[in-house]
Structures are given as structure tokens and as C-alpha cells.
Chain A
Amino acid sequence: MIQIPTNTKLLREILVAFIRNEVEKTGLKRVVVGLSGGVDSSLSAMLAAEALGPKNVLAIMMPYKSSNPESRADAETVIEKSGAQSLLVDITPQIDAYFERFPDADARRRGNKMARERMTILYDHSARWNALVLGTSNKTELLLGYGTLYGDMASAVNPLGDLYKLQVWALAEAVGVPLAIVKKAPSADLWHGQTDEGELGFSYREVDQLLYLMVDQRYTRAELIAAGFAERFIDEISSHIMNSQFKRRLPVIAKVSQRTIDRDFRYSRDWGK
């Protein structure tokens, strides 16, 4: 059994300081966050409320008509508990209007479209409210590519991007995310009965242990096999990581000049801040 460290006291201290620092240095003091009622967005929202004060956090719930009503109820308990401001934007009309023209779109296209509509709503309200968009993607889904590019993966600052799902669960419990949210099966909630683990075909517990050794501890394939992981599982996860690399980078730019953005024009994002 591989133990992934979950020092929740220290993680909480660091992530709260991170949100406060990275937001305030831009000259802003507020964030907007898409709150689904799942553990990731609940944790992000609660950490932001702690860092910036709840009145500076706007949690936006953006259900579609097929969304599980329990998700909405869970989101509301987080709003109540954190004291964050909230807004409800039902995305059904804009989604349905679009897919009336493309009725044979499959579940994947519909799911991605919903994620991207939610992104545009978050960015619109960030402009309206002088706020930054707070991210909710964790390290597990970022590494597996289990997210929608320019959809739920889009944000200005993301406190959870270096936390595996197991760490998210531990930290969520420690900061007081309601236990019902921490314990329920993670789901993108695109259709009835969908779960992450069902769709991915493995459990977060299994994959986090593998990712931790592979990515953080730099175990070789032979060392991973010796540690008890099945070859097929190792190869499947390796290909997930490789094939989703594009989601973790800026678009590829054709180099023609002497100085090309992100290749030999290199500045930190916090340039001058």
C-alpha cells in the first residue's frame, strides 16, 4: 500500500496563502467559481472563502435540465457553509438552442459543449465582478486528460492542480466540505448514473497510487511492475498522459521569427506583479 502524503494542515495553509497572494497581486480581490456540488469545486470554493473572505467569492451553479437535483442541493449546502455569494444560471436554453441545429451530437460533444458554455459564463461574470476565475481541476484529471479543454480546465488560478484526487478528498474533509459530498461517487453529471470511475474503468485509489509513483517519484516501468502494478494498467495510464499532453500546453505556434512566444520569449505569468 503506497501512502500519498495528505498533510491537510500544511496543504490548507499553503493553498489559502496561494489564492490570497496570486489573486491580490493582480490588483483584484475576488474570484468566481463554477460550483457543481462535487468535491473539487466545493473544496476550491471553501478555500477561496477562507483566503479572500466569503463575500469575495461568487459561486455560480450552472445546471442543465438533466443534471442530478442532488448536485444542486449539495452545491447549496456548500454555499451556506462557506458563506459565499451565489448565482444560479440554468444553461438549458443555450445548450438546447444550439443542439436543435445539430441533433445527432453524441454525449461527448454535448458534455464538452456544456463545459464550455459554463466557462463563458464564468469569464463573463469575472468581467462583470472584477474577479478572477478560480480553477477546480485536480492533478489526477489533469494528468489523465479527463477534462474539457477550454471548458472546466479553463481558469486563472487553480489551487487544486497539484493535488491528486485522494488528497482532494482528505483536504475537503479537513476544511469542512460536507461529508455527503466527500463520500459520494465523483461524476461529471452529464447523464443519469454516470460516474468518473465507471467511465474511466479504474478507481481513483488505484490510479492515484500509480500516478504518484510514476510522476512524483519517477519510478521506471520495471519498478512499477515490481511495485505490483499490472503492465496493461501502467501502459494504459501512460498513454492517457501522453495523449492528453496537448491539453496541458498552449496551442502549437509555428516558429518563423527570431523570438517566438513561449519558446524564446519567456516570461513568468506574474511579470511585474
Chain B
Amino acid sequence: MTSRSATLTVAWRLASFRSEGFPLIAMSILGGLLFIAVFANVLAPHDPEVGSLGERFRPPFWQQGGSEKFLLGSDHLGRDVLSRLIFGARVSIVVAFTAVLFAGVVGTVLGILSGYLGGWVDQVIMRVTDAWLAIPALTYAIFLAAVVGPSEMNIVIILGLVYWTRYARVIRGEVLSLKERDFVRLAIVAGCSKRTIMKRHILPNVLNSAIVLGTLMLGVVVVTEAALSFLGVGVPPPKPAWGLMLADGKKGLMAGYWWLTVLPGCCIMLMVLSANLLGDWLRVKFDPQLRQL
């Protein structure tokens, strides 16, 4: 098999995985990243934040000038790229998961309230959502980060604040159609309180959409966090974040130190790709009609 047809086969496989069964590759990658994030301390050969200036800009071990000490090379401060990538996985995953969870919880709750209660609650929440959505998420996030100052915690909150609106919109739509369903109407006739209905009938039914949206959001959040870190308003140095590594890597780009740019980007790409594949599969699995996600 020539390399070209091999690439096509892989591509075709990826595409057909999307329409067929369980996305094995995606889950393995995500599982692997999770594993790496949890066991970073054990897996990383070096301390990601400490570098030796004598070992700057070493290329990966298979290139000339590389060494086994820095398997994937070292950066402009002599820090081991592999270790930084490994710890960066932890940072990215923690930030992304937490932000998505935050946005998801807030967005789902508000979406349910807005959709079910209607009236002025709905109007207020929807107007706020509209105003929020008028500006692209990245711009908003940059603005907020500039106002409150960058830190890992702030970034999580900011990302949560920026993305809850997408949840609210979608969940509200679902709730609106759920409201018309018979089992909800029966519950109303039976005299259940609004809170009970929302908790026991509505919530479990929107959970599917929330989860699918969550996986799809994961990729988006990772990219946004990387962009923020790249610009300097994300995770602050010296913590290793993939976006930060790309910013640092830019410094060595013109000199041809490719590994500082290509490798962190590949990690981002893998994570986002896997999250998207997983999300697509979940979406079709849960309900093939969830097209507006």
C-alpha cells in the first residue's frame, strides 16, 4: 500500500466511523489523554517548569543534535517539551472539562427555567443570551480576561461565562417542545409543582442533549483556551499550557525549530478531533434528529 492510499484509507475509516459504530480511535485518544493527565507526575521525565539554559532548542531525539534526554526536544528555556506536553494535557483537560461542566450546569438550568417558565423569566434570559451571543466567544473571553486578569481559575470561570449561552439556547428549545408532550401535561394535571416537573420530568429528558452539546463544546473550549493562552491572557506562565507552548514556539519558528510549534498543535488537534468525533457519534446515537447542534 502506498502512503497515499494509506492516508485515504485512514481518512475513509475516520469518516465511516462517524456514520457507523463506536468511535474507537476517538475514545482511545481521549482515554489516553485522560490517563496522561492523571498520571503526569509519573509519566513526565522532567519537571515541566524548570529548564537548563545550556540545553536550549534541542531538536527531538531522531534529528541531528537531539538527545535521549529530551525525547521531543527542548524549548527556548531549556525545558523538556515532552514533559511540558504531558503536563499541558493536565492543564488543558482540567480547564476544558471544568469550564464545560460549569457552562453546562448554568446553561442547562437557565435553559430549563427559561423554556418552562416562559414569561418575563424567559424574556430576560433570552435577551441576555442574545446580547452575549452578539459577540464572538473569543472576543468576549479576551475582554473578560483583560478585565479580571489571567489565572487558571479565572479562565475556567470566563470560559464558563462565555459558553453557557449556547447551552441555554439549545436546552430551551428542547424544553419548549417537551412542554407539549403528554407526560408533562399529565404531571401538570396531577398537580405536581413546577419545580418537581422540571426536576423529574424535564431534566432527565434534556440530559441527552446536554451531554452531546458538552462533548462538542469540549473541542471548542480547548481551542479557545489555547487561543487565549497564545495571546497571553490564558493560563499564565510558567505553567505548561499547549497554547502557551505555541506562543513560545513562535519565537523559534523562523529559525526552523519546528517541534516547538508542530507538537503542541498536534496535541490540541488530537484532543479536539476526538471530542468532535465522540460528540458526533453521541449525537446520532441519542437522536438522529438533533441536527441543530
Tell me, yes or no, whether A binds B: no
A interface residues, Cβ below 8 angstroms from B: none
Which residues of B does A touch, CB under 8 Å? none
